[in-house]
Each structure stands twice: as structure tokens, then as C-alpha cells.
Homo-oligomer: A and B are copies of this chain.
Amino acid sequence: MSTISLATYIFWRIKQIGVDTIFGVPGDFNLSFLDHIDEVDGLRWAGNANELNAAYSADGYSRIKGFAAICTTFGVGELSATNGVAGAYAEHVGLIHIVGGPTVNAEEHKLLLHHTLANGKFNIFKDMSKNITVKAVSIEDIATAPAVVDDLIRTGYVYKRPVYLVVPSNFSEAQVPASLLRRPIDLSLPPNEPLAEKEFIEHVIKKIVRAKNPCILVDACAARHDVKNSVEALVKATQFPVYVTPMGKSAFNEDSPRFSGVYVGALSKPDVKESLENSDLILSIGGLLSDYNTGAFTYHYHTTNVVEFHSDFCKVRSAVYMGIQMQTALSKIIRGLAEVDLKYTPTPIPASVSEYKSVQQITSGKLTQQYLWYKLSYFLRAGDIVVAETGTSSFGILQAHYPAGVTAISQVLWGSIGYALPSSIGAAFAAEEIDRSKRVILFIGDGSLQLTVQAISDAFRQHLHPYLFVLNNKGYTIEKMIHGLHAEYNNIQPWDHKKILELFHYKDDYEYLKVGTVEEMNKLYKDPEFNKPTKLRLIELMLDEFDAPKNLIEQARLSEIINSGKE
């Protein structure tokens, strides 16, 4: 019987579900594990500059390719990745975090190894990870190891959440039957309970048929649990208008005549707010109702009119259908709609949806936030991946119109500053694996950039060509808007951004550009060379310190109220 090492087995399993890059940092407890990457054709080692960046990159990669893998070393390595893994958990991003651990023997003897807390407790880090993953296990027996690995990958993939695996270093080389690889891991969803599903579907179809002023609201989990196609089919079948939340942006084609804008509660544009809140039926798909996603909890629609579709339950008014997953339920509803007669007459969509077009009349002046985000609509094209950092970027980008086929990444719920840069590099790995002409476009502030800047080195290492737009507005403008407008703690050390690429580039081609006016920006966007992702580019955008998107200013005011506990 032919055998392979457990490490090779794990890498093959990861590769089989479409993951071509392993993110991470080497450390002495994972070296023998990493030895086996090369045995799997087409699998590459990203070699990140640090673990947090590796985790963020894995998150960005997973949002494009559906799953990701990161490998760190015991204790020191894995703890540095914690924040990134927790973010993936909060935002429903599937990945496996593999930790190379000490030998089982060392653990049994409670050796005072380096990378431990010197208290003989080797399980502490796994226990910590249990809080931020759906499953966290160690390999303890080579006989059961392949089944443990398969179950873990399946769990992370199906539930779109992180899972955690410790591989003690003595198990990396341990042999398992190669034949196990022949049967792929079952990634199908468990079926919905038929009776409950039937009841739910009939209930929803009845409501759809009766609705006079209905709509569809698309949120984060529609993208994460990949029901974008179902949403499209649902709109085709019903012609209902479609709103997206901030986290749902790009999960529906904005070129569609039924696209009706971004709904953010009280922070929505007035016509969007009014039309959505007047609906007599809201089909809410993949909702994740966090403060930044709802205009600080200012949703004002009647919950009696809502049908909620989630990855683990569905809900009509107050009736919860536990365990009914939207993925299958939605496709059955669409099929069911073909059998019924819909009397709905499409209503006009809010006028503000076309507001971004006004930017075409702006031809000169200093670069402003308003101009920037509207204008971006004209730079984007099908296939682009746009990554926006928490802050002025994540708020501002809601103003941009996304052409069909644009994918957006933003960590609106977890909101860890520094996330977007490494995430965009992770997305650039994924983009390259899909199609080398696919563009990845990052928007990040100068404050957030500082937390994770060495991720740019990772991009150069793999010759990736993202566009890095850096908004230079002298520090943490979002924090200034929330509290401490002129406080020292909201300032940052000014950097000479021109030097960043010079530091990291080695022999790769790169381009640094500085843009401070509308004329410069317009010229750049018109340049055919600039439109091609042929090199790594950093574009520094010079903005006023206190210029912020209007919705951010209002969100900040509401956040300050919530934070002070005076609501």
C-alpha cells in the first residue's frame, strides 16, 4: 500500500478544494511540515513578513476563492495571527489555521520548551483559539488523522468560518494511505429538513405573490455563503428592487435596472431610506446587522414585513425555521415562483442611484473625498476586486457605482485597522491564480497603512501587481470624527510614502504616483498604461485632514453617542 506523509496529505486536501497558496511564516515547530508543500504540484508558499499579515491575506484570499490556509508556529506564531482569524470568524470567512506544535512527547513531559508559557500547559493556545474558530483540534493519533483533517476542512468550508489544527512536529512525517486522497472531501451542505423547508418555502412564496411594494435587501452572507446567483435569479423572476447593505455591496450587480442603492438605516440617502422603509415585504438575504452595517442600528422598517434568509436558519416575521439554510431554500423558491402568477408592477428606483454621474462635470480643483469615490465608478471594470479599509475608505466607497462583475472586500463588522492592505495582497494572490489581467485595487488611509505595511513586501516577493491607493489625510480621520478631533493620540508619524516601494521592491518593477488634484486624477484614469496591472503601483492621494464622507461624519456622531453610554 502506498503511503504519504501526513503533511503531504494535508496539503493535497487543501489543494483539492481549490486553494493554491499557503500563507504563513516559518518557525521551528512547523519547518518539517512545510517541507512537504513542494510535493503538491501548483501549491505555493506565500512567505509572509509576519503572521497577522498572513492571516489577513488568507482572509482576503478566501473571500475570492472560497477558502484559504495559513500555517504558523506554536505559541508565538499563532498568537500573532489571532486578530486576523477572529476577524474571519466574525465575518464568515472560511479558512484553516494550521499550527506546527511541539512533539507529543515534549508535551507529556511538560518540557519547558521555548514558545511556551513555561507552565507546562501546552493546550492553552488551542483553548484560546476555540473562542474564535468553529472547531479547534490537535492531531493525537496517526490512525485517525486523515479523518480529523477531512472533517475539519469540511467544517470550515461549509460553515465559512475558521478552523484550527495543531500538527505536533513528530506527526508531519508520519505515514497515511495515499489512496484516501482519491475520494474528495464531501463539501455539500447537509439537506434541509424536508417538512420545515416545504412549509417555509410555501410561506415565502405566498408572501411574494401578495406583496404590492416588496424589495430584496442583500447583505454580507449572500456573498460569503455564495448565493449571488440565486439572488440574481430571484430578481429576474420577481423584478423586485434590490438594495444592498454596506457589507452586501458588490453581492448584486449595480448595472441591473433593479439596483436601488445602499441601505444603511438613517445614514442612507433619503430616497433610498424612504423607499425601502415603505416596503410591505423585505426579503433580507444573508443579513449581518452590526452597527456599522446598519447606520448605528437605525433600521426603521417594520420587522413584520421581513423574511430573513441565513446560512443556518430562516425566519418569516417572528417564526424561526431553525436549520433551514438559505442556499437550497432560495433555489427552491425560485423554482416555485415559475409556477405562480406574480402581479407585481416594477416601481421606479431611487434617483440617488445615479448621483455618482454628476462627477463627470467636475474637471478641476483639489482632490476631495466626494470626487474621489464618485470618480472611482469610472475607473472600475468587470473582474476588478476592490478592497476598502475601515475608515474613510469603507464609508466613502459606498458612494461609488460598481459596474457588473466587481467584487468588493471590506471588513465592516470586525473593523480592524490595518486589515485591508494584507487582505488586498491575499486577494491579489487569488486574482493571479484566476486570471493575470484581473485587477486588485486597494483604498487605505495613511494611518491604517502603518499597522501592516510590510505586506507590500509579500506582494513584491510573488511579483503581484495590486493598485495601492493611499489616502494621505494626516492620521486617523475616522477616529478624529468620532472623538478627539485635535487630540495627539489621533495623529501619526508622517511617512515619506515615496520610499515604501523603494524599500521593498528588490528587482521588481514598480511605480509611485502622487495625486492632489482632479486634473491629475482624471489624467491618470485616462492613461491606458495605468489601467493595465503590469506593475505594483502605490498612488498617494493628497486629501484634507478633515475631509470625510458625509455618511462617516454622521456615523461618527452616532458612535460617539453609543460609546458614551448616553443613548
A52: CB under 8 A from chain B? yes
Chain B residues with CB under 8 Å of A483's CB are 28, 31-32, 35
Q: Does chain B have a CB within 8 A of A332?
A: no
> What residues of chain B lie closer than 8 Å to A503, measured between beta carbons?
495-496, 499-500, 503
User: Which chain A residues (266-309) contact chain B, with CB distance < 8 Å?
Assistant: 288-292, 297
Q: What is the bound-complex CA distance between A413 and B118, given in angstroms?
A: 8
Q: Is the CB of B452 within 8 A of A118?
A: no
User: Could you tell me if A76 and B83 are in contact, using CB atoms closer than 8 angstroms?
Assistant: yes
Q: How far is the CA of A505 from the CA of B503 in the complex (A)?
A: 14
Flag whether A493 is at the interface (Cβ < 8 A). yes
Q: Identify A450's interface contact among B37, B49, B488, B563, CB under 8 A.
A: B49
User: Are A482 and B28 closer than 8 Å at their CB atoms?
Assistant: yes
Task: Render A553-567 as a binary contact track against B, CB cut-off 8 A, 1 for contact.
Answer: 000000100111111
**Chain A 473-515 per-residue mask, 1 if CB under 8 angstroms from chain B, else 0:** 0001001001110011111111110011011111000000000
Q: Do the beta carbons of A132 and B117 come within 8 Å of each other?
A: yes
Residues of B within 8 A of A173 (CB): 564
Q: How far is the CA of A535 from the CA of B131 in the complex (A)?
A: 45
CB-CB < 8 A to A45: which residues of B? 488-489
Which parts of A67-108 form the interface with B (CB within 8 Å)? 75-76, 79-80, 82-83, 86-87, 89-90, 102-106
Across-interface contacts of A181 in B (CB, < 8 A) = none
Would you call A49 and B113 a contact (CB within 8 A)? Answer: no
- Chain B residues in 8 Å Cβ range of A90: 116-118
Cα distance, A89 to B413, chains bound together (Å): 31
Q: Specify which chain B residues have a CB less than 8 angstroms from the CB of A127 in the assembled complex.
A: 131
Taking the complex as formed, is A540 at the interface, i.e. its CB lies under 8 A from any CB of chain B?
Answer: no
A sample of 24 inter-chain contacts (CB < 8 A) reads A26-B479, A31-B490, A31-B563, A34-B484, A47-B489, A49-B450, A49-B451, A52-B80, A82-B83, A102-B563, A106-B562, A106-B565, A114-B290, A114-B291, A128-B131, A173-B564, A450-B457, A453-B453, A457-B495, A495-B506, A496-B504, A496-B505, A496-B506, A500-B503
Given A113-B291, A453-B453, 13 more A-B residue pairs with CB atoms under 8 Å apart are: A26-B479, A31-B479, A31-B482, A32-B483, A34-B487, A49-B450, A52-B52, A76-B416, A168-B565, A457-B493, A461-B493, A496-B502, A496-B504
Question: A356 to chain B: closest CB distance in Å?
Answer: 26
A28 to B556, CA, bound (A): 9
With a cutoff of 8 Å between Cβ atoms, the chain B residues found around residue A451 in the complex are 25, 49-51, 454
**In the complex, are the beta carbons of B26 and A111 less than 8 A apart?**
no
CB-based nearest B residue for A49: B450
A499 partner residues in chain B, CB cutoff 8 A: 499, 502-503
Q: When the two chains form their complex, are residues A565 and B170 in contact, meaning their CB atoms are under 8 A apart?
A: yes
- Interface: A27 (CB within 8 A): yes
Q: Which residues of B contact A458 (CB under 8 A)?
A: 493
The 10 closest A-B CB pairs, nearest first, are A170-B565, A76-B416, A103-B565, A79-B83, A31-B483, A499-B503, A461-B493, A50-B451, A49-B450, A114-B415
A37 and B87 alpha carbons, distance in the complex (Å): 30
Chain B residue with minimal CB distance to A85? B79
CB of B412 within 8 A of CB of A114, answer: yes
Inter-chain contacts of A488 with B (CB < 8 A) = 38, 45, 47
Q: Please report which residues of chain A, range 14-55, place their CB below 8 angstroms from some CB of chain B when the two chains form the complex.
A: 25-29, 31-32, 34-35, 37-38, 45, 47, 49-52
Asked whether, in the complex, the Cβ of A32 is within 8 Å of the Cβ of B131, the reply is no
A381 within 8 A of B: no
Given the known interface contacts A114-B413, A416-B80, the answer about A506 and B494 at a Cβ–Cβ threshold of 8 Å is: yes
Tell me the bound Cα distance from A112 to B292 in angstroms. 9
Contacts of A170 in B (CB 8 A): 563-566
A417 within 8 A of B: yes
A76 close to B414 (CB less than 8 A): yes
Residues of B with C-beta under 8 A to A50? 418, 450-452
Instruction: Note all chain B residues with C-beta closer than 8 A to A87.
Output: 76
By the criterion CB–CB under 8 Å, are B35 and A484 in contact? Answer: yes
Tell me if A493 and B76 are in contact (CB < 8 A): no
Check A479–B117 contact: CB distance below 8 A: no
Say if the beta carbon of A237 comes within 8 Å of chain B: no
- In the complex, whether A124 has a CB less than 8 A from a CB of chain B is yes
Contacts of A146-203 to chain B: CB distance below 8 A: 168-170, 173
Q: Is the CB of B114 within 8 A of A49?
A: no
CA gap between A483 and B32 in the complex, in Å = 7
In the complex formed, the residue of B with least CB distance to A38 is B488
CB-CB under 8 A for A112 and B80, given A52-B52, A102-B563, A565-B103: no
A460 interface contact, C-beta 8 A:
yes
User: How long is the Cα–Cα vector from A292 to B114 in the complex, in angstroms?
Assistant: 7
The answer to whether A115 has its CB under 8 Å from any CB of chain B is yes
